[in-house]
Amino acid sequence: MSRLGTTLQAAREQGRTLLMAYLCAGDPTVEASVEALCAADTAGADVVEIGWPFSDPVADGPVIQAASQRALGHTGRAEVLDAVRKVRAASKAPIALLGYCNPLLNRGLEATIRDLASAGVDALVVADLAFEESEPWRSACRANGISLVPFIAPTTQGTRLQAIARAADSFVYAVALLGVTGQRTEQSASILPIVEELRRYTEAPVLAGFGIGDGKQAATWRRRGLDGVIVGSALVAEMAAGGSGAVGDKVRSIRSELDKLG
């Protein structure tokens, strides 16, 4: 079983809420981002998610947009792969890479997927990839032992939802609200009927992302029946304010709230 598959299965057997922690590669430097990602792992993240900086991250709010801008001047393909390799060497956690089509396709899809697999990526999340256009990506990922993670949103319906369920080979990323990434005070429940319908067609874990900024909000999603949460903007903000130590503290506080649920 893959590193990611083992982690997901163990969490299910233990009743553990999955926590995926996102940071942008190269923000503020490659070494600093690697240190912070490893700190997130040590503090209790089950999966670490490395962002590939991009000039037009349309799914992201101002916090992650700013992180991408800080990283872009010194972080390209080679530096992202270097960050992945360094995290892989220092961390036991599965690695997800979040990117956008443009930089991922710059040197060819198959070459990029091979490079990601060689560096140690376990899962790929492509923020602007339409599910209907994902089969070539899925095929290339499958050939290299990487899971291409599908999205569901409050607007996902019918046969499209069933197709997404069939394609899920690790976990499903549930976009918890319409809009861009970023912390929110209120946690919308609009995705819940979609998750309930999805579970009719797949046993893959479902993780909620977008808008989750602290442990209490994360615990809310667990109580609503989600298998885990993805936290990004809140950790990027901690990184900007206090570096890897602040990131570790934030992850530890979220992990503590989740573990209180059993």
The string of pLDDT tens digits covering residues 128-145 is 999 999 999 999 999 999
List 41, 49, 115, 169, catalytic entry: 49
* Inter-CA distances, 33 with 121, 202, 230, 234, 256, Å: 16, 34, 17, 15, 23
In the block, tokens 């490893």 appear at 38
**What is the C-alpha to C-alpha distance for residues 122 and 78, in angstroms, rounded to an integer?**
18
List 35, 41, 46, 60, catalytic entry: 60
- Identify residue 21 by its one-letter amino acid code: A
Q: Which domains does the chain have, with CATH numbers?
A: 3-148+226-259 (3.20.20.70)
Let me know if 49 is a catalytic residue. Answer: yes
**pTM of this prediction?**
0.95
Let me know if 227 is a catalytic residue. Answer: no
In the block, tokens 């499209």 appear at 160
CA proximity to 233, closest of 46, 100, 63 = 63
The tens digit of pLDDT for each residue in 79-129 reads: 999 999 999 999 999 999 999 999 999 999 999 999 999 999 999 999 999
- 130 CB contacts (<8 Å, ≥6 apart)? none
- DSSP assignments along 13-69, one per residue: HHTPPEEEEEEETTSS-HHHHHHHHHHHHHHT-SEEEEE---S--TT--HHHHHHHH
